[in-house]
Amino acid sequence: MILHCIIWGVRANCKKQVDRANALVITMMGIIGTLSDVSLPEIFQLIEKGKRTGLLTVRALPPATGTYYLWVKQGHIIAAANRQDGQGLISLISKCKLVSDRVLSKLVQWCCPVNQPLGVCLKQQGVLTRLNLEQLFQIQLLQQLSVLFQLQDGSFRFDSLAVIPTQEMTGLSIPATEATLMGLRVLAHWDNLAAKLPDPNQNLLRKIAGYPSYRLDTLEWQIWQYSKDAVSLHTIAQNLKFPVEQVQHIAFRLISMGLAEAIP
């Protein structure tokens, strides 16, 4: 238990970590587990709090198929793909028709050093703008997150010794928990996370002082306002005239970001 807390660098109540620790296998290189035991939002929260660097690989279990890769540095996601051949970002740039295939191929081969993020190089060469890179990074992330958060089950491995492929990097990054927010916002079906949602009779209470460092949308902000006084989710739903399930979903997003907690 102590080893688990040290490896992740999480300064949390270790009692709350017992079930999660029992569900994880700690190796010399990283951590192995399943999404049925530890949810993706929990994994992202551990990665950010522990300021982890490495590769998170998630393999879908039947009936779903596919393998998904998220590269992180110091708790921030810096690249994502569903392939490991280093061609994910290049393929995305080509599909978006931002650069001709011929020009892109020449730049990658002759102008971009292997130790520099591809997006940074292409910006320096004047073929991509900052806005292009922001759009590419958002697409890159959402393509993977929109699938990952829908998985019924899957196995995951975090490898702290994995090499980070610069050809998959735009040069941009996002805190892991903020990526959770992106993924949960586009989540259409919550069945896989239903057991982890806060109970409507629980109160939502803030865990931080001041304003969130994350940009909340209008609905998230409205519910965040109620968390100051520990109001029950059922009461919040009644006051805002929202369906209780919707309030549970938004509260779960706030909890997953470490902004609030559900208490009896």
The per-residue pLDDT for range 190-248, each reduced to its tens digit, is 988 888 899 999 999 999 888 888 889 999 999 999 999 889 999 999 999 999 999 99
Residue 212: predicted pLDDT:
87
179 with 219, same domain: the answer is no
Q: Which of 37-41, 155-159, 211-215 has the lowest mean pLDDT?
A: 211-215
Domain identity same for 174 and 50: yes
User: Residue 53: which domain range?
Assistant: 2-188
**What's the rounded Cα separation, in Å, for the pair 173 and 214?**
14
Instruction: Please give the backbone phi and psi of residue 204, each rounded to the nearest 5 degrees, phi first.
Output: -95, 120
Based on the domain organization, do 228 and 127 belong to the same domain? no
If you average pLDDT over residues 65-82, what whole number do you get?
96
Distances (CA, A) of 179 to 17, 34, 139, 160: 22, 19, 12, 19
Q: Over the stretch 163-200, which tens digit does the pLDDT of each residue have?
A: 999 999 999 999 999 999 999 998 988 988 888 899 99
Residues 16 and 103 in one domain: yes
Phi then psi dihedrals of residue 250, to 5 deg:
-70, -40
User: Both 62 and 184 in a single domain?
Assistant: yes
Single out the residue in 155, 171, 188 at which a domain terminates.
Answer: 188
In the chain, the number of structural domains is 2
Considering the domain architecture, whether residues 215 and 143 belong to the same structural domain is answered as no
Nearest CA to 72 among 89, 87, 53, 57? 53
Place of tokens 């994350």: 214
Q: pTM for the whole thing?
A: 0.84
Domain boundary pick from 188, 214, 249: 188
52-61 residue pLDDT tens: 999 999 999 9
Do 180 and 203 fall within a single domain?
no
- Sheet arrangement for strand 260-263: 231-232, 203-206, 260-263
Q: Which residue has the tokens 């990074």?
A: 137
Residues 155 and 217 in one domain: no
